[in-house]
Chains A and B, each alone.
Chain A
Amino acid sequence: MVERSYEKFFRQNRLPHLWCPGCGNGIAMKAIVQAIEKIPELNQDNTVIVSGIGCSSRASGYMDFDTLHTAHGRAIPFATGIKLANPKLNVIVITGDGDCTAIGGNHFIHGCRRNIDLTVVLFNNNIYGMTGGQASPMTPLGKKATTAPYGSIDRPFNACHLAEAAGATYVARSTAYHVQHLVTMITGGIKNHGFSFIEAMVQCPTAYGRKNKMTDPAKMLEWMKDTAQMKNVWDKNPTDEKFPIGVLYQSTAGEIDYSSAYEKVIEMAGGI
């Protein structure tokens, strides 16, 4: 067997990873390295992976780049710092639905607002996986969690809408079932010169599945296959029964990204 080319982007001595059997995080992590591989300008020396805290955020530990495993909800501030210090670096943020939209919610919207040239990939498993299944701001209505034993009554965030409204210039969604599509969505995000947000739906058979009678990861993937619709199809008949995947928003207004704006300030200040 010929070794797969993406294996060079994994820290081989750290595999197998610690995610549960059937966890979708592994699928999303591979999609990221395959997206990186598709863009020739990106390599291990000019690409930085930054993550927060959570099962999903463990991904940075398996990826053979310069990586930062930061504090809960704070991946975007760390990534912002890297980008300001060295705008030439390609910075990819890996975050969870809790990490990004609960404790890190404010950092998320302000990252979007500033249009910092980051690619943020949110691994959405609809739950706090690492801490045992508390509801997150993206747990769907009626779904159970340890903190919502009768089903969640909190209306969930649509993180893609949130990103667009807050100023992100590229917003896309895909799923762990649609692997190649997910790779394409991430590639598009990396290429966008500004804040890119990609929601990757992933299955958590352990914390989310057990609570919601979906313990078979394959069936969870099948649910994604049956419930996701390409944006152009969904747009013709928008319904809550399905969710759209694809590039949901891409700015054509040519907004300046934060590093370029900051470059001008540096110039005005005399190049320091």
Chain B
Amino acid sequence: MKGKISVKEERCKGCGICSYFCPKQVLRVDELGKIRVIKPEDCIACGQCELRCPDYAIFVDRVAEQKEKSEV
């Protein structure tokens, strides 16, 4: 299962709770104090970020993993 992350940027206050609890280092708070999804492909849809965001600014939806196209 993969995750698709959506951010409501106007709500984010850059507290860093989501990035701290992300087990895959997918997120980082940028210089302007907003959350950035730096490694979207590494998201495992665990939902830890969404669970504790005090501002309801980050959401993760589960998406079925795309099958790699085989060469043959």
Contact = CB atoms under 8 A, between A and B. Distances in A.
Given A15-B56, A30-B56, A179-B52, A21 B6 contact: no
Contacts, number: 62
A177 interface: yes
Contact residues on B (Cβ < 8 Å of other chain), bracket: 20 to 34
Interface of B: 4, 6, 10-11, 13-17, 20-21, 33, 51-57, 59, 61
Interface stretch (A95-103, A113-121, A214-222): A214-222
A25 interface: yes
Contacts of B55: 16-17, 26
A15 B52 contact: no
A223 to B, nearest CB: 12
Contact of A217 (B6, B11, B17, B57): B17
Nearest to A176: B52
Interface stretch (A1-9, A188-196, A229-237, A248-256): A1-9
A130 interface: no
A23 interface: yes
A218 B56 contact: no
Nearest to A30: B56
Contacts of A221: 17, 20-21, 52
